[in-house]
Amino acid sequence: AQSVTQLDSHVSVSEGTPVLLRCNYSSSYSPSLFWYVQHPNKGLQLLLKYTSAATLVKGINGFEAEFKKSETSFHLTKPSAHMSDAAEYFCVVRALRAGGTSYGKLTFGQGTILTVHP
């Protein structure tokens, strides 16, 4: 079984200040982890994904996330928010079965709406 908890349903920041969106996960198998962004009335776009090569993952638009196995967390950060970052963000876990074959089932968190004030 796998699950994802996004700890904040809404986050509000001022333009130019840091962004922190929190995500905790649980998984019976070694997980792969993703952050997706959804702008209003749009589809989902991949921001970044975790690979076993590095625990600090860099994505598009200045976002990055750190995988912490001991804390089962995968928080998303950005040093300086921009107005265009206002959107809904989803933390997603994709558990891999023993043996490494991916069946592709994604489990989504509930989403965090990021508001950026001028």
Interacting residues toward another protein by CB under 8 A: 4, 9, 30, 32, 34, 36, 42-46, 49-52, 90, 94, 96, 99-111
**Length of the chain in terms of residues written:** 118
Please state, in angstroms and rounded to a whole number, the distance separating the CA atoms of residues 26 and 41.
Answer: 30
- Residue 27's H or E segment, with its range, is strand 23-27
User: Is residue 65 within 8 Å of residue 77, measured between CB atoms?
Assistant: yes
By C-beta, is 42 or 117 nearer to another protein? Answer: 42
By C-beta, is 26 or 107 nearer to another protein? Answer: 107
In the complex, the smallest distance separating the C-beta of residue 77 from another protein, rounded to whole angstroms, is: 20
Instruction: Fill in the amino acid letter for 10.
Output: H
By C-beta, is 51 or 55 nearer to another protein? Answer: 51
Please state, in angstroms and rounded to a whole number, the distance separating the CA atoms of residues 91 and 73.
Answer: 10
In the complex, the smallest distance separating the C-beta of residue 16 from another protein, rounded to whole angstroms, is: 29
In the complex, the smallest distance separating the C-beta of residue 17 from another protein, rounded to whole angstroms, is: 26
